[in-house]
Amino acid sequence: MPKEPDFIHDLNEQQRRAVRHGEGPLLIVAGAGSGKTRVLTYRIAYLIHQNMAAPNEILALTFTNKAAKEMQERIGQLIGEEAKRLWMGTFHSVFSKILRYEAEKIGFNSDYSIYDTEDSKNAIKQILRENNYDPKEIKPRILQRRISDAKNELINPDHYGEKFVHSTLDDITARIYKIYVERLKHNNAMDFDDLLIKPIELFNEHPDTLEKYQDRFKYIMIDEYQDTNHAQYKVTNMLASKYENLCVVGDDAQSIYSFRGADISNILDFKSDYEDAVEIPLEQNYRSTKAILKAADSIIKNNSKQLDKTLWTDNDMGDTITVLDNYDERDEANRVANYIQDLKMRKGYDYNDFAILYRTNYQSRVFEETFRRKGITYQLVGGLSFYQRKEIKDVLAYLTLLINPEDDTNLMRIINEPSRGIGQKSLSDLMNRARQTGQSLWRILENVEEADVYKPAENSVKDFVRMINSLKQQLANGRSLVEVTKQLLDESGYMKSLVEENSPKSMTRRENILELQNAISYFEKNNDNATLSSFLQEISLITDTDKYDEEKPAVTMMTVHAAKGLEFPVVFIVGLEEELFPVGSRNNEDVNIEEERRLFYVAITRAEQELFFSHCRSRYKYGEEQRKTRSRFLDEVSSDVVRTETGSSINQDKNRFSGKKNSSPNNGDTKVEYDWKKPLYDKNNRSSHTQIHYDNPDEDPFQVGAKVIHNVFGQGKIISRSGQGERTKVVVFFKERGRKTLMLRAAKMQVVG
């Protein structure tokens, strides 16, 4: 065997162990900032240098083309031109290449088309029409998502139809799924999911082909193994089953993509799948200070399901983490901006040394507005500028019509958004009439009976015109902007369509629209004689100047999900409140708290030198100011490395969500137990009314999300709250009676859990 290459000495002891590992399964548990990319590239280069494998006998799978390109370049620097012979790329690109060679064995030819998501939706839309379903009622995107989920779980159409039909939508999905698969084959096409499941089909039906690729890929490497789904796990397991020279690199503590189908059990159960597997933890962190690492470690230790490792570093202790306790989200944005400007001046940081990480995209709006006002350049990663997002532009187009219905561009944008039965042909006819007569489209719509259009479309146009005119009149009569906006969203069906879709994307869009309502409410409350015209003018100024120069240093703003794999000298993690981070946590048993905690761990470990945690005591929601409870994660982080802005320790209550007695009443939530034997309300005893006076406001149990019972309306859940003291109001959604607005001081209800 050749002498070991010099580059082996660039590694620490654990990294060298991983690189030198010969045959047999290997699990590299690579903590954040521990140099996993270096280990993976050095291991591949080492196998080739030591003649343990030829380049074309190594398969390396990544999750992004960027990662694959970076690794190949690094390997090329170590071993030269031989690196070009590697089988390296994303799962989809590598298995697409294999299928080009083998497609005829499963009924395709090598020139098959690859459908992206939009192609798939269009194919499903056509199938719906052919089978007498209305794509406006049965959304193609909903069926596409359901079919994609089924494919990635290796559930074929027949199995889906036999085992997973429990509703009308399930039945329609099963029918369309079966036809869709047949249609793809007829069209000699595969979608993105097929690029993972068709190789499994190929290998199952042709064992000789499987063995051919098992012999070809004597060594298999997989990066970010914690992000693999069931199909990816299955196909790589099949390829590795002969020689078991499978090396996977990942960190269970950074498994944050379950919503995409990632299965953390793939990495947790690796040693069960491969009994002879060697596990090597990479625990030395080269990125962060000791204080930041201690914070991350103290958080992740609260998870029950994890691989054993403890990160450490030779870096300095560094500054303690500062907790910003803000009044509301605008106070939060202002103070973060002030810290950035101060650190930039005192310590010489550039703007691109700073990152602001948040749980959901809509949180960027207030920061964008604040940074523009203060002259701080920024860039959004993984998302559009808030006011450039489709759903926001749609709502602003609706609002524009209330003051300028002659605006054909905005009218065309939303006249059939969401669908209201005004087809493309009818729209074309109406627009042609407008052009021929020299009138605006709105004038044609107001007199639609004079146009020769399909009768149902004519009726829909009349309803649309009535809605716009009614809302215009309400504005003229002095109704508030936020109330008119809420009614518009309700009557137009826009919010309803997002709720019915019930996908992660539609829920994000809904949250963005709610954030727009917050902006309108804030504008109205803080501007004398606020008008819709003045609000839209302010927004137009923001969007007109929203030009990002990639060459200009800028503060980075992104969700924590988008930040994975990146690092910054200074990081602000904002919005650390219950129901926001962890998202939807209060009284929601469906929330995966362990994954939310892993997400917080990822956020912490993006920081190199300085880290800030930030939370608000109140935040605008549904156009109203609501009190917030700080995140449980601030109670879990090590108190040794966290300080307030004054340098004092923060008050923590580690039992706040454990059901145990609070050790710090100032930070705990009071749980009110309901005595089922006691009458709900006694007209002679006012004490049986809802109590709203508390020595400590944090003890008030009637918060948004609380489950209550009323002596008339029954069981319900508080969905919003406004006002203070005797004027406190709550909106409760009751299971049997719907939505009710109640004065809290007189409401005959109690919290039941």
Q: Which long-range contacts (CB under 8 A, 24 or more apart) does 61-66 make?
A: 61/88, 61/89, 61/90, 61/91, 61/94, 61/220, 61/221, 61/222, 61/223, 61/236, 62/88, 62/89, 62/90, 62/223, 62/224, 63/90, 63/91, 63/223, 63/224, 63/227, 64/90, 65/89, 65/90, 65/93
Length of the chain: 753
Q: How far apart are the first and last CA of the chain?
A: 68
- CATH number listed for the domain at residues 113-187: 1.10.10.160
Is 36 catalytic? The answer is: yes
Give the Cα separation of 260 and 689 in Å (integer): 46
Q: Is 34 annotated as a binding residue?
A: yes
pLDDT at site 405 = 84
Active-site choice (14, 15, 36, 458): 36
Four-point Cα dihedral 118, 121, 122, 126, nearest 10: 180
57, 193, 194, 224: which is the annotated catalytic residue?
A: 224
Q: Is the pLDDT of residue 63 over 90?
A: no
493 is in an annotated binding site: no
- Establish whether 563 is an annotated binding residue: no
Query: 212-234: per-residue pLDDT in tens?
Result: 999 999 999 999 999 999 999 99
Q: Is 107 annotated as a binding residue?
A: no
CATH fold group of domain 6-10+21-93+216-282:
Rossmann fold (3.40.50)
Cα separation, 115 vs 185, in Å, equals 12
Backbone dihedral region for residue 421 (phi beyond 0: left; psi -120 to 50: alpha; all else: beta): left
* 33 annotated ligand-binding residue: yes
Q: What is the pLDDT of residues 6-58, one digit of tens each?
A: 889 999 999 999 999 999 999 999 999 999 989 999 999 999 999 999 999 99
Which residue among 37, 341, 531, 644 is the active-site one? 37
The response to whether 30 counts as a known ligand-binding position is: yes
User: Does 409 qualify as catalytic in the annotation?
Assistant: no
pLDDT digits (tens, 9 = 90+) for 591-624: 689 999 999 999 999 999 999 999 999 998 777 8
Q: Is 223 a catalytic residue?
A: yes
For residue 35, say whether it is annotated as part of any ligand binding site: yes
What mean pLDDT is reported for the chain? 85
Q: Which of 193, 194, 223, 251 is catalytic?
A: 223
* 246 has pLDDT over 60: yes
Q: Residues 344, 606, 632, 721: which is the catalytic one?
A: 606
To the query of whether residue 37 is one of the catalytic residues in this protein, the response is yes
Verify whether residue 224 is a known catalytic residue.
yes
| 462 catalytic residue (yes or no) | no
The strand pair at 321-326 and 642-644 is best described as: parallel
CATH number of 387-545: 1.10.486.10
The DSSP result for 81-142, as a single string, is GGGGGSEEEEHHHHHHHHHHHHGGGGT--TT-EEE-HHHHHHHHHHHHHHTT--TTTS-HHH
Distance CA 66, CA 496 (A): 39
pLDDT digits (tens, 9 = 90+) for 699-752: 677 887 788 888 777 788 887 788 777 678 888 877 767 778 888 877 778 887
- pLDDT at residue number 686: 33
Q: What is the mean pLDDT of residues 242-270?
A: 90
pLDDT at 14: 95
- Residue 131 · residue 183 · CB < 8 Å: no
**For the segment 310-361, what is each residue's pLDDT rounded down to a tens digit?**
889 999 999 999 999 999 999 999 999 999 999 999 999 999 999 999 999 8
> How many Cα atoms sit within 13 Å of 321 on the Cβ side?
30
Percent of the chain scored above 90 by pLDDT?
48
What are 396-423's pLDDT values in tens digits? 889 988 987 877 777 888 899 998 888 8
Indicate the helix (H) or strand (E) that contains 709: strand 707-710
- On whether 646 is known to bind a ligand per the annotation, the reply is no
Query: Are residues 323 and 642 in contact, defined by beta-carbon separation less than 8 angstroms?
Result: yes
Whether the CB-CB separation of 364 and 556 falls below 8 Å is answered with no
Asked if residue 262 has pLDDT above 80, the reply is yes
Q: Is the pLDDT of residue 109 over 90?
A: no
Catalytic-labelled residue, pool 254, 284, 363, 728: 254
Among 284-293, 370-379, 445-454, the least confident range: 445-454
> What CATH class has 321-385+548-585+592-644?
alpha beta
